[in-house]
Amino acid sequence: MKRLALHWQIMIGLVLGAIWAIISSYLGWSEFTIDWIKPWGDIFIRILKLIAVPLVLLSIINGISNLTDVSKLGRLGVKTLGFYVVTTVIAVSIGLGLVNSFQPGNKVDPGKKKEMIANFERNLEGSDISQKLADKKSDAQKMKEGGPMQFIVDLFPQNIFFSLTNNILMLQVIVFSILFGIGLTLIPPEKGKPVKAFMEGANEVILKLVELVMNAAPFFVFALLAGIMAKMAGNDPGLLVDIFAGLSWYALTVVVGLLILILVVYPTIIQLLVRPLNYRSFFKGIGQAQIVAFSTSSSAATLPVTMDCVKDRLGVSKDITSFVLPVGATVNMDGTSLYQGITAVFLAQFFGYDLSLGQQLTIVFTATLASIGAPAVPSAGLVMLIIVLESVGLPAAWIGLIFPIDRPLDMLRTVVNVTGDATAASVIAQSEGEIRGINS
Ligand code: ASP
């Protein structure tokens, strides 16, 4: 009998995970799910993160040391960053267009609104939320301190071992790898040869690990989703419904925005600009990465799978994959910037503040920067939202209102972030004549 394709198996794992969580919540088994099933999901995320850093390091060094023409590096850099900034600004603008037309903050029933605000204020006092908020605020503060050049300064590691051991410092690992790769091309070939051979071999090992772990992905994804949902609902499934009720218009606006990106913007770009692909083959090729993004909520953890799909299934060259995707995982977050634009305006509407056109333009600017600066980990977009809110004089504490619904939205925006990275890699590969087309 023919075996079901892996992406279908993973999809089935995802659906079964959700079904399991609902049943176990009804039967009062959530604790069992959290104690015995969720840990397998945690292990999956750990393995992916474990693979991501050496993969970025080795693939960039390999890619650069094999470049015959070093000026290509500068060209790729300009194209990649240009594409990322343009799509991010498009995403925030779509978000702002939607939130201003849907007005989700004005659609909440006044009685429900009062209840939500009272709930939010009660929860805020001395609770878990206020602690989390304080932590998140200080994270965002740290990123905001320093002059206008701080972002550039922070790209450069002072100790590569420190950067390698800190998952949010991926950009520093990328800078080190680029420098090392350039150095390797400049030394005499006989000295560089053993270093290159080692890097190539080690890279193969890491790629093999990605393949192995993906074979077990259906089970891991089941565990991840069951664990996440069981944690959200506990033994009271009605809680999930309650959480969504007051915020449903807001959530719907975000979902519509994300769907526009995924079903209209990216397919149009692919259809118009990338000849060897059409939107169908594109989605078929990156399906696995999208499901892993959905279940892990982390573009960084998904990176090994994204690289695998884009290189092997979309047929993008190694050079492009190993440069564009690691940079994209941290820098390019269209889903996050769209979400930040919508959320800032939603909160202003909810609490009765009118935002001027100037303030909305400020949101476009800060949401673009905040999504670039957000690390590719769960909830990063929420943390950076503090900066967006403060840029237009709104209180950061308001994010407490949307805390409860952040995880499902995070899962969805991470899918968009990863799809945006794959789109960029395909477009840039096409412009360099380095895409072969679908290979499933
Ligand atoms: N979780 C998202 C990502 O890794 C970032 C975010 O929170 O929006 O892409």
Indicate whether residue 303 lines ligand 1 (CB < 6 A).
no
d(CA 131, CA 291): 32
- What is the signed CA dihedral for 405, 408, 414, 415, rounded to 10 degrees? -150
Which residue, among 89, 409, 36, has the nearest Cα to 222 in the 3D structure? 36
Q: Let me know if residue 310 belongs to a domain.
A: yes
Indicate whether residue 299 lines ligand 1 (CB < 6 A).
yes
Q: Domain of 184: which CATH number?
A: 1.10.3860.10
Q: Let me know if residue 438 belongs to a domain.
A: no
How many domains would you assign to the chain?
1
d(CA 198, CA 200): 5
Q: Let me know if residue 1 belongs to a domain.
A: no
Q: Let me know if residue 184 belongs to a domain.
A: yes
Indicate whether residue 289 lines ligand 1 (CB < 6 A).
no
* Domain assignment of residue 287, given as a range: 6-432
- Looking at residue 138, its pLDDT comes to 62
- β-pair partners for 316: 435
- Looking at residue 257, its pLDDT comes to 97
Backbone angles phi, psi at 4, to 5 degrees: -65, 140
Single-letter code of the amino acid located at 194: P
Distance 412 CA to ligand 1 centre (A): 9
- Nearest-CA residue for atom 6 of ligand 1: 381
Alpha-helical runs (H) found in 236-356: 238-246, 248-260, 266-273, 279-296, 299-308, 318-331, 334-350
DSSP annotation string for 327-382: HHHHH--HHHHHHHHHHHHHHHHHTT-PPPHHHHHHHHHHHHHHHHHS-SSTTHHH
Q: Which of 92, 262, 296, 379 to mutate to test the pocket of ligand 1 (most atoms within 8 A of CB)?
A: 379
- Looking at residue 430, its pLDDT comes to 94
Q: Let me know if residue 437 belongs to a domain.
A: no
Q: Let me know if residue 90 belongs to a domain.
A: yes
d(CA 382, CA 14): 24
pLDDT in tens for each of the 440 residues of the chain?
567 777 788 889 988 998 998 888 888 888 888 899 989 988 988 888 888 888 888 888 887 887 777 788 889 889 999 999 999 999 999 999 999 999 998 887 777 777 777 766 665 555 455 555 666 566 566 656 667 777 788 889 999 999 888 767 778 888 899 899 889 988 998 999 999 999 989 988 988 888 888 889 899 989 988 888 887 766 666 666 666 667 889 999 999 999 999 999 999 999 999 988 888 999 999 999 999 999 999 998 999 999 999 999 999 998 899 889 998 988 899 999 999 999 999 999 988 888 888 998 999 888 888 888 777 778 888 878 888 888 888 888 888 788 778 888 999 999 999 999 999 999 999 999 888 876 54
> Which atom from ligand 1 is nearest to the alpha carbon of 297?
1
Indicate whether residue 417 lines ligand 1 (CB < 6 A).
yes
- β-pair partners for 435: 316
Q: Please, are residues 381 and 92 in contact by the beta-carbon 8 Å criterion?
A: no
Q: Please, are residues 152 and 331 in contact by the beta-carbon 8 Å criterion?
A: no
Q: Let me know if residue 317 belongs to a domain.
A: yes
Indicate whether residue 419 lines ligand 1 (CB < 6 A).
no
Distance 81 CA to ligand 1 centre (A): 18
pTM equals: 0.83
- Looking at residue 225, its pLDDT comes to 85
Distance 375 CA to ligand 1 centre (A): 7
Q: Let me know if residue 144 belongs to a domain.
A: yes
Distance 411 CA to ligand 1 centre (A): 8
d(CA 171, CA 329): 10
